[in-house]
Amino acid sequence: MSGMIETDLLVHSAAQLLTLAGGPQRGSALGTLGIIRSGAVAIRNGKVVEVGPSEKLRKRFRAKDEIDARGRIVLPGFVDAHTHLIWAGARVAEFEMRVAGANYMEIMEAGGGILATVRETRVASVDELVAQALPRLRSALAHGTTSMEVKTGYGLETAAELRSLAGILQLDAAQPIDLTPTFLGAHAFPPEYSDDHDGYTELVCAEMLPAVRDWWAANADERRLPFVDVFCETGVFTPAQSRRILERAQALGFPLKIHADEFDGLGGTGIAVELGATSADHLVHTPPEDIAALGRSETVAVALPCSPFGLAEAEYTPARAILEADGILALATDMNPGPAWCESMQFVLALGCRYLRLTPAQAIAAATINAAAAIGRAGQVGSLEAGKQADLVLLGASDYRHLGYRFGGNLVEVVIKAGDVVLRNTALT
Ligand code: NIG
Ligand code: FE
Protein backbone atom coordinates (compact mmCIF):
# COMPACT_ATOMS: atom_id res chain seq x y z
CA MET A 1 0.00 0.00 0.00
CA SER A 2 1.33 3.43 -0.81
CA GLY A 3 1.72 6.04 1.89
CA MET A 4 2.57 3.48 4.54
CA ILE A 5 5.43 4.26 6.89
CA GLU A 6 8.28 1.76 6.96
CA THR A 7 9.13 0.56 10.44
CA ASP A 8 11.09 -2.24 12.09
CA LEU A 9 8.53 -3.91 14.35
CA LEU A 10 4.80 -3.64 14.95
CA VAL A 11 3.33 -5.30 18.04
CA HIS A 12 -0.44 -5.36 17.62
CA SER A 13 -3.75 -6.77 18.86
CA ALA A 14 -2.91 -6.48 22.56
CA ALA A 15 -6.08 -6.87 24.64
CA GLN A 16 -4.75 -4.00 26.74
CA LEU A 17 -1.71 -1.89 25.90
CA LEU A 18 -0.63 -0.04 29.02
CA THR A 19 1.19 3.13 27.95
CA LEU A 20 1.83 4.72 31.39
CA ALA A 21 2.08 7.93 29.37
CA GLY A 22 2.34 11.37 30.93
CA GLY A 23 5.34 11.22 33.27
CA PRO A 24 5.84 10.23 36.91
CA GLN A 25 2.62 9.85 38.90
CA ARG A 26 2.35 11.49 42.31
CA GLY A 27 -0.15 10.88 45.07
CA SER A 28 -3.69 10.14 43.93
CA ALA A 29 -2.61 10.12 40.26
CA LEU A 30 -0.71 6.85 40.86
CA GLY A 31 -2.24 4.06 38.79
CA THR A 32 -2.98 6.03 35.59
CA LEU A 33 -2.22 3.28 33.10
CA GLY A 34 -3.25 4.95 29.81
CA ILE A 35 -4.89 1.77 28.51
CA ILE A 36 -5.41 1.31 24.77
CA ARG A 37 -7.71 -1.62 23.97
CA SER A 38 -6.68 -3.72 20.99
CA GLY A 39 -3.51 -1.66 21.18
CA ALA A 40 -0.42 -1.56 19.03
CA VAL A 41 3.06 -0.11 19.21
CA ALA A 42 5.25 0.74 16.21
CA ILE A 43 9.01 0.58 16.78
CA ARG A 44 11.92 1.89 14.73
CA ASN A 45 15.64 2.10 15.57
CA GLY A 46 14.97 0.81 19.06
CA LYS A 47 12.48 3.54 19.88
CA VAL A 48 8.70 3.81 20.06
CA VAL A 49 7.38 5.65 17.00
CA GLU A 50 3.70 5.56 17.84
CA VAL A 51 1.19 3.80 20.09
CA GLY A 52 -2.51 3.55 19.30
CA PRO A 53 -5.36 1.26 18.26
CA SER A 54 -4.21 -1.72 16.18
CA GLU A 55 -6.66 -0.95 13.43
CA LYS A 56 -5.11 2.47 12.90
CA LEU A 57 -1.45 1.51 13.26
CA ARG A 58 -1.78 -1.51 10.95
CA LYS A 59 -2.95 0.84 8.22
CA ARG A 60 -0.22 3.36 8.88
CA PHE A 61 2.88 1.21 9.28
CA ARG A 62 4.50 -1.45 7.15
CA ALA A 63 6.81 -3.34 9.53
CA LYS A 64 9.71 -5.70 8.75
CA ASP A 65 8.50 -7.82 11.66
CA GLU A 66 5.15 -8.11 13.36
CA ILE A 67 4.09 -9.68 16.63
CA ASP A 68 0.45 -10.57 17.03
CA ALA A 69 -0.09 -10.13 20.78
CA ARG A 70 -3.34 -12.10 20.39
CA GLY A 71 -5.32 -10.87 23.33
CA ARG A 72 -2.35 -10.48 25.65
CA ILE A 73 -1.23 -7.55 27.79
CA VAL A 74 1.56 -5.28 26.59
CA LEU A 75 3.24 -2.91 29.04
CA PRO A 76 6.60 -1.18 29.53
CA GLY A 77 9.40 -3.40 30.82
CA PHE A 78 9.80 -3.23 34.59
CA VAL A 79 12.37 -0.87 36.03
CA ASP A 80 13.98 -2.38 39.14
CA ALA A 81 15.10 0.81 40.91
CA HIS A 82 17.05 -0.69 43.83
CA THR A 83 19.28 -3.74 43.72
CA HIS A 84 22.52 -4.99 45.23
CA LEU A 85 22.97 -7.25 42.19
CA ILE A 86 26.77 -7.60 42.30
CA TRP A 87 28.14 -9.80 45.07
CA ALA A 88 30.00 -13.07 45.59
CA GLY A 89 28.75 -16.12 47.49
CA ALA A 90 25.53 -16.76 49.38
CA ARG A 91 24.29 -16.65 52.98
CA VAL A 92 22.24 -19.79 53.30
CA ALA A 93 23.38 -20.56 56.87
CA GLU A 94 22.36 -17.06 57.96
CA PHE A 95 18.93 -17.64 56.45
CA GLU A 96 18.57 -20.79 58.51
CA MET A 97 19.66 -18.85 61.63
CA ARG A 98 17.08 -16.16 60.93
CA VAL A 99 14.35 -18.73 60.48
CA ALA A 100 15.35 -20.08 63.88
CA GLY A 101 14.96 -16.60 65.40
CA ALA A 102 18.24 -14.69 64.93
CA ASN A 103 17.91 -10.97 64.20
CA TYR A 104 19.26 -9.41 60.97
CA MET A 105 21.06 -6.48 62.60
CA GLU A 106 22.46 -8.67 65.40
CA ILE A 107 23.90 -11.06 62.81
CA MET A 108 25.59 -8.06 61.19
CA GLU A 109 26.94 -6.76 64.50
CA ALA A 110 28.47 -10.21 65.07
CA GLY A 111 30.40 -9.91 61.79
CA GLY A 112 27.90 -11.75 59.57
CA GLY A 113 25.27 -10.35 57.25
CA ILE A 114 26.63 -7.71 54.88
CA LEU A 115 30.15 -8.31 56.28
CA ALA A 116 30.02 -12.01 55.37
CA THR A 117 29.33 -11.03 51.77
CA VAL A 118 32.10 -8.41 51.97
CA ARG A 119 34.65 -11.13 52.85
CA GLU A 120 33.71 -13.12 49.74
CA THR A 121 33.37 -10.11 47.45
CA ARG A 122 36.77 -8.66 48.41
CA VAL A 123 38.59 -11.76 47.19
CA ALA A 124 36.57 -12.15 43.97
CA SER A 125 37.93 -10.97 40.63
CA VAL A 126 35.84 -8.76 38.37
CA ASP A 127 35.27 -11.75 36.09
CA GLU A 128 34.09 -13.85 39.01
CA LEU A 129 31.68 -11.11 40.16
CA VAL A 130 30.32 -10.84 36.63
CA ALA A 131 29.93 -14.60 36.30
CA GLN A 132 27.98 -14.82 39.57
CA ALA A 133 25.71 -11.87 38.75
CA LEU A 134 24.83 -12.87 35.18
CA PRO A 135 22.34 -15.64 36.05
CA ARG A 136 20.51 -13.20 38.31
CA LEU A 137 20.23 -10.74 35.42
CA ARG A 138 18.97 -13.50 33.12
CA SER A 139 16.32 -14.39 35.66
CA ALA A 140 15.30 -10.73 36.06
CA LEU A 141 15.01 -10.36 32.28
CA ALA A 142 12.89 -13.49 32.03
CA HIS A 143 10.58 -11.92 34.63
CA GLY A 144 10.22 -8.73 32.60
CA THR A 145 12.86 -6.35 33.99
CA THR A 146 14.47 -4.22 31.26
CA SER A 147 16.24 -1.55 33.37
CA MET A 148 17.92 -1.98 36.73
CA GLU A 149 19.78 0.09 39.28
CA VAL A 150 22.81 -1.75 40.74
CA LYS A 151 24.72 -0.81 43.88
CA THR A 152 28.27 -1.55 44.93
CA GLY A 153 28.73 -1.87 48.68
CA TYR A 154 30.27 -5.28 49.36
CA GLY A 155 33.84 -4.04 48.86
CA LEU A 156 34.05 -1.32 51.51
CA GLU A 157 37.61 -0.47 50.46
CA THR A 158 38.52 1.65 47.47
CA ALA A 159 39.98 -1.02 45.20
CA ALA A 160 37.21 -3.56 45.86
CA GLU A 161 34.49 -0.93 45.36
CA LEU A 162 36.05 0.05 42.03
CA ARG A 163 36.13 -3.64 41.00
CA SER A 164 32.38 -3.78 41.60
CA LEU A 165 31.86 -0.68 39.48
CA ALA A 166 33.96 -2.28 36.74
CA GLY A 167 31.81 -5.40 37.06
CA ILE A 168 28.63 -3.34 36.67
CA LEU A 169 29.95 -1.78 33.45
CA GLN A 170 30.89 -5.25 32.11
CA LEU A 171 27.49 -6.65 33.01
CA ASP A 172 25.77 -3.72 31.34
CA ALA A 173 27.57 -4.52 28.09
CA ALA A 174 27.08 -8.30 28.39
CA GLN A 175 23.28 -8.60 28.39
CA PRO A 176 20.09 -6.69 27.48
CA ILE A 177 19.05 -5.08 30.80
CA ASP A 178 20.24 -1.45 31.04
CA LEU A 179 22.13 -0.98 34.30
CA THR A 180 22.27 2.28 36.27
CA PRO A 181 25.16 2.19 38.78
CA THR A 182 25.23 3.41 42.37
CA PHE A 183 28.28 3.72 44.62
CA LEU A 184 27.37 2.42 48.09
CA GLY A 185 30.77 2.50 49.82
CA ALA A 186 28.79 3.56 52.90
CA HIS A 187 26.86 0.25 53.18
CA ALA A 188 28.50 -0.90 56.46
CA PHE A 189 31.67 -0.37 58.47
CA PRO A 190 34.39 -2.81 57.39
CA PRO A 191 36.17 -4.77 60.16
CA GLU A 192 39.26 -2.48 59.97
CA TYR A 193 37.05 0.40 61.07
CA SER A 194 34.72 -1.38 63.50
CA ASP A 195 35.90 0.96 66.28
CA ASP A 196 36.32 4.06 64.14
CA HIS A 197 33.10 4.85 62.34
CA ASP A 198 34.05 8.50 61.86
CA GLY A 199 37.35 7.36 60.38
CA TYR A 200 35.58 5.24 57.78
CA THR A 201 33.15 8.07 57.04
CA GLU A 202 36.18 10.26 56.43
CA LEU A 203 37.72 7.59 54.16
CA VAL A 204 34.54 7.52 52.07
CA CYS A 205 34.54 11.33 51.79
CA ALA A 206 38.24 12.03 51.31
CA GLU A 207 39.41 8.98 49.37
CA MET A 208 36.60 6.89 47.88
CA LEU A 209 34.33 9.56 46.41
CA PRO A 210 37.13 11.36 44.54
CA ALA A 211 38.54 7.97 43.45
CA VAL A 212 35.13 6.93 42.07
CA ARG A 213 34.76 10.21 40.22
CA ASP A 214 38.21 9.91 38.65
CA TRP A 215 37.84 6.21 37.83
CA TRP A 216 34.49 6.91 36.22
CA ALA A 217 35.87 9.70 34.06
CA ALA A 218 38.65 7.36 32.89
CA ASN A 219 36.58 4.21 32.35
CA ALA A 220 32.94 4.97 31.65
CA ASP A 221 33.15 7.07 28.48
CA GLU A 222 30.63 9.85 28.65
CA ARG A 223 28.20 8.09 31.00
CA ARG A 224 26.78 10.25 33.73
CA LEU A 225 28.19 9.75 37.22
CA PRO A 226 26.80 6.92 39.39
CA PHE A 227 24.42 7.68 42.22
CA VAL A 228 25.89 7.81 45.72
CA ASP A 229 23.89 6.03 48.43
CA VAL A 230 24.30 5.62 52.23
CA PHE A 231 22.80 3.06 54.64
CA CYS A 232 21.47 5.45 57.32
CA GLU A 233 20.41 3.24 60.23
CA THR A 234 20.98 2.54 63.91
CA GLY A 235 24.35 0.75 64.17
CA VAL A 236 25.35 1.78 60.65
CA PHE A 237 25.73 5.38 59.41
CA THR A 238 24.24 8.01 61.71
CA PRO A 239 22.22 10.85 60.19
CA ALA A 240 25.23 13.15 60.74
CA GLN A 241 27.63 10.73 59.00
CA SER A 242 25.09 10.13 56.21
CA ARG A 243 24.67 13.85 55.67
CA ARG A 244 28.43 14.37 55.57
CA ILE A 245 28.87 11.71 52.87
CA LEU A 246 25.91 12.88 50.79
CA GLU A 247 26.94 16.55 50.98
CA ARG A 248 30.47 15.67 49.91
CA ALA A 249 29.09 13.54 47.06
CA GLN A 250 26.82 16.35 45.96
CA ALA A 251 29.72 18.80 45.95
CA LEU A 252 31.57 16.40 43.63
CA GLY A 253 28.58 16.30 41.26
CA PHE A 254 27.06 12.91 42.15
CA PRO A 255 23.26 12.43 42.19
CA LEU A 256 22.03 11.05 45.53
CA LYS A 257 20.07 8.20 47.10
CA ILE A 258 19.67 6.98 50.67
CA HIS A 259 18.69 3.80 52.55
CA ALA A 260 16.47 5.26 55.27
CA ASP A 261 14.03 4.15 57.97
CA GLU A 262 14.35 0.39 57.30
CA PHE A 263 14.43 -0.43 61.02
CA ASP A 264 14.40 2.97 62.77
CA GLY A 265 13.12 6.36 61.65
CA LEU A 266 16.25 8.46 62.16
CA GLY A 267 15.58 11.36 59.83
CA GLY A 268 17.41 10.04 56.76
CA THR A 269 14.42 10.72 54.54
CA GLY A 270 14.35 14.36 55.66
CA ILE A 271 18.05 14.68 54.79
CA ALA A 272 17.39 13.17 51.36
CA VAL A 273 14.59 15.65 50.68
CA GLU A 274 16.66 18.56 51.93
CA LEU A 275 19.57 17.65 49.64
CA GLY A 276 17.30 17.02 46.65
CA ALA A 277 18.15 13.30 46.47
CA THR A 278 16.65 11.45 43.52
CA SER A 279 15.19 8.80 45.84
CA ALA A 280 14.84 7.70 49.47
CA ASP A 281 14.50 3.94 49.82
CA HIS A 282 12.99 1.40 52.29
CA LEU A 283 10.92 3.93 54.36
CA VAL A 284 9.22 1.48 56.71
CA HIS A 285 9.50 3.57 59.89
CA THR A 286 9.48 7.04 58.33
CA PRO A 287 8.31 9.75 60.75
CA PRO A 288 5.15 11.66 59.68
CA GLU A 289 7.04 14.93 59.15
CA ASP A 290 9.38 13.19 56.71
CA ILE A 291 6.42 11.69 54.83
CA ALA A 292 4.97 15.20 54.55
CA ALA A 293 8.34 16.49 53.31
CA LEU A 294 8.49 13.76 50.67
CA GLY A 295 5.09 14.85 49.39
CA ARG A 296 6.37 18.36 48.81
CA SER A 297 9.49 17.17 47.00
CA GLU A 298 10.65 15.50 43.81
CA THR A 299 12.44 12.78 45.81
CA VAL A 300 10.93 9.40 44.90
CA ALA A 301 9.95 7.08 47.79
CA VAL A 302 11.15 3.59 46.84
CA ALA A 303 9.35 0.83 48.74
CA LEU A 304 11.12 -2.54 48.97
CA PRO A 305 8.54 -5.03 50.25
CA CYS A 306 10.83 -8.03 49.70
CA SER A 307 12.91 -6.76 52.60
CA PRO A 308 10.29 -7.02 55.40
CA PHE A 309 8.86 -10.10 53.67
CA GLY A 310 12.31 -11.69 53.55
CA LEU A 311 12.81 -10.96 57.24
CA ALA A 312 9.26 -12.07 58.07
CA GLU A 313 8.54 -8.71 59.64
CA ALA A 314 5.10 -7.29 60.19
CA GLU A 315 5.65 -3.72 59.05
CA TYR A 316 5.90 -2.46 55.50
CA THR A 317 6.27 0.96 53.86
CA PRO A 318 3.21 3.11 54.68
CA ALA A 319 2.45 3.54 50.99
CA ARG A 320 -1.02 4.95 51.45
CA ALA A 321 0.25 7.67 53.80
CA ILE A 322 2.96 8.55 51.26
CA LEU A 323 0.32 8.81 48.52
CA GLU A 324 -2.01 10.84 50.73
CA ALA A 325 0.90 13.24 51.30
CA ASP A 326 1.21 13.47 47.47
CA GLY A 327 4.51 11.59 47.29
CA ILE A 328 5.95 9.81 44.25
CA LEU A 329 6.01 6.10 45.10
CA ALA A 330 8.11 3.44 43.36
CA LEU A 331 8.65 -0.29 43.93
CA ALA A 332 11.85 -2.33 43.60
CA THR A 333 13.22 -5.74 44.59
CA ASP A 334 16.20 -4.76 46.81
CA MET A 335 17.76 -7.92 45.35
CA ASN A 336 20.61 -8.85 47.73
CA PRO A 337 22.21 -11.94 49.28
CA GLY A 338 20.63 -11.29 52.70
CA PRO A 339 16.94 -10.67 53.29
CA ALA A 340 15.84 -10.35 49.67
CA TRP A 341 17.33 -12.59 47.00
CA CYS A 342 14.50 -11.96 44.57
CA GLU A 343 14.84 -11.19 40.87
CA SER A 344 11.12 -10.89 40.12
CA MET A 345 9.35 -7.54 39.95
CA GLN A 346 6.12 -9.52 39.51
CA PHE A 347 6.57 -10.89 43.02
CA VAL A 348 7.23 -7.34 44.28
CA LEU A 349 3.89 -6.26 42.76
CA ALA A 350 2.14 -9.15 44.50
CA LEU A 351 3.63 -8.05 47.83
CA GLY A 352 2.85 -4.40 47.10
CA CYS A 353 -0.81 -5.16 46.50
CA ARG A 354 -1.15 -7.13 49.72
CA TYR A 355 1.09 -5.38 52.26
CA LEU A 356 1.22 -1.83 50.88
CA ARG A 357 -2.44 -2.07 49.85
CA LEU A 358 -1.77 -0.85 46.34
CA THR A 359 -4.16 -1.64 43.52
CA PRO A 360 -2.60 -3.58 40.62
CA ALA A 361 -2.70 -0.37 38.56
CA GLN A 362 -0.85 1.56 41.28
CA ALA A 363 1.72 -1.20 41.67
CA ILE A 364 2.33 -1.29 37.89
CA ALA A 365 2.90 2.47 37.71
CA ALA A 366 5.19 2.29 40.76
CA ALA A 367 7.25 -0.41 39.01
CA THR A 368 7.54 1.33 35.64
CA ILE A 369 7.29 5.11 35.17
CA ASN A 370 7.84 6.03 38.82
CA ALA A 371 10.68 3.54 39.14
CA ALA A 372 12.27 5.16 36.09
CA ALA A 373 12.03 8.51 37.91
CA ALA A 374 13.73 6.91 40.94
CA ILE A 375 16.83 6.27 38.82
CA GLY A 376 16.72 9.50 36.85
CA ARG A 377 15.57 7.77 33.64
CA ALA A 378 11.92 8.83 33.31
CA GLY A 379 12.73 10.63 30.06
CA GLN A 380 13.96 7.41 28.41
CA VAL A 381 12.12 4.40 29.89
CA GLY A 382 9.14 3.41 32.03
CA SER A 383 6.35 4.23 29.57
CA LEU A 384 5.38 3.54 25.96
CA GLU A 385 5.37 6.92 24.27
CA ALA A 386 6.79 8.21 20.99
CA GLY A 387 10.52 8.81 21.32
CA LYS A 388 11.09 6.55 24.30
CA GLN A 389 13.15 3.39 24.28
CA ALA A 390 11.11 0.43 23.01
CA ASP A 391 11.36 -1.71 26.17
CA LEU A 392 8.22 -3.77 26.58
CA VAL A 393 6.86 -7.05 27.78
CA LEU A 394 3.99 -9.25 26.64
CA LEU A 395 2.12 -11.02 29.41
CA GLY A 396 0.19 -14.25 29.02
CA ALA A 397 -2.99 -12.75 30.48
CA SER A 398 -5.89 -10.77 29.07
CA ASP A 399 -6.41 -8.37 32.01
CA TYR A 400 -3.58 -6.36 33.60
CA ARG A 401 -4.90 -7.16 37.09
CA HIS A 402 -3.43 -10.64 36.77
CA LEU A 403 -0.27 -8.75 37.83
CA GLY A 404 -0.45 -8.60 41.59
CA TYR A 405 -3.26 -11.13 41.74
CA ARG A 406 -1.06 -14.07 40.75
CA PHE A 407 2.31 -14.75 42.37
CA GLY A 408 5.11 -17.28 42.47
CA GLY A 409 5.03 -17.87 38.73
CA ASN A 410 5.96 -15.87 35.66
CA LEU A 411 3.41 -14.26 33.33
CA VAL A 412 6.01 -12.87 30.91
CA GLU A 413 5.96 -14.47 27.45
CA VAL A 414 8.02 -12.03 25.39
CA VAL A 415 10.55 -9.33 26.33
CA ILE A 416 11.48 -6.64 23.80
CA LYS A 417 14.50 -4.50 24.65
CA ALA A 418 15.30 -1.41 22.58
CA GLY A 419 13.18 -2.87 19.76
CA ASP A 420 14.75 -6.35 19.77
CA VAL A 421 12.98 -9.48 20.89
CA VAL A 422 15.47 -10.65 23.52
CA LEU A 423 13.42 -13.34 25.18
CA ARG A 424 10.51 -15.64 24.39
CA ASN A 425 9.21 -17.80 27.18
CA THR A 426 6.75 -19.58 24.86
CA ALA A 427 6.27 -19.75 21.12
CA LEU A 428 4.32 -16.63 20.21
CA THR A 429 4.43 -15.65 16.59
O1 NIG B 1 18.89 -2.80 51.36
N2 NIG B 1 19.79 -2.52 54.23
C3 NIG B 1 20.92 -2.61 53.75
N4 NIG B 1 21.30 -3.30 52.71
C5 NIG B 1 20.53 -4.28 52.05
C6 NIG B 1 20.76 -5.63 52.56
C7 NIG B 1 22.09 -6.07 52.16
C8 NIG B 1 22.53 -7.40 52.71
O9 NIG B 1 22.01 -7.90 53.72
O10 NIG B 1 23.45 -7.95 52.09
C11 NIG B 1 19.11 -3.84 51.98
O12 NIG B 1 18.20 -4.47 52.52
FE1 FE C 1 19.13 -1.99 49.70
Q: pLDDT tens for residues 349-406?
A: 999 999 999 999 999 999 999 999 999 999 999 999 999 999 999 999 999 999 999 9
Neighbours of ion ligand 2 (CB under 5 A): 334
- Between the CA of 333 and the centroid of ligand 2 the distance, in Å, is 9
The answer to whether residue 52 scores a pLDDT higher than 50 is: yes
Ramachandran category for residue 70: left, alpha or beta (phi over 0 → left; psi -120 to 50 → alpha): left
Interval 69-76 mean pLDDT = 96
- Check residue 110 and give its pLDDT: 86
The answer to whether residue 427 scores a pLDDT higher than 80 is: no
- Check residue 109 and give its pLDDT: 87
The answer to whether residue 224 scores a pLDDT higher than 60 is: yes
CB-based contact 43:49 (threshold 8 Å): yes
- Cβ-based neighbour number of residue 46 at 10 Å: 15
Domain with CATH 2.30.40.10 in the chain: 5-76+383-424
The answer to whether residue 61 scores a pLDDT higher than 70 is: yes
Domain with CATH 3.20.20.140 in the chain: 78-374
The rounded distance, in Å, linking the Cα atoms of 9 and 48 is 10
Interval 49-55 mean pLDDT = 98
How is domain 5-76+383-424 classified at the CATH fold level? Urease, subunit C; domain 1 (2.30.40)
**pLDDT confidence band for 2 (50 / 70 / 90):** low
Return the residue whose CA atom lies nearest to atom 5 of ligand 1.
336
For residue 42, list its beta bridge partners.
10, 50
Ligand 1 probe mutation, 80, 84, 234, most atoms within 8 A of CB: 84
Question: What CATH number is given for 78-374 in this structure?
Answer: 3.20.20.140
The answer to whether residue 198 scores a pLDDT higher than 50 is: yes
Q: Which amino acid is at 209?
A: L
Average pLDDT score over the chain: 97
**pLDDT confidence band for 429 (50 / 70 / 90):** very low
pTM over 0.85: yes
The rounded distance, in Å, linking the Cα atoms of 392 and 145 is 9
- Check residue 1 and give its pLDDT: 52
Query: What does 122-137 look like in DSSP terms, one character per residue?
Result: HT--HHHHHHHHHHHH
- Between the CA of 299 and the centroid of ligand 2 the distance, in Å, is 17
Looking from the CA of residue 114, the nearest atom of ligand 1 is 10
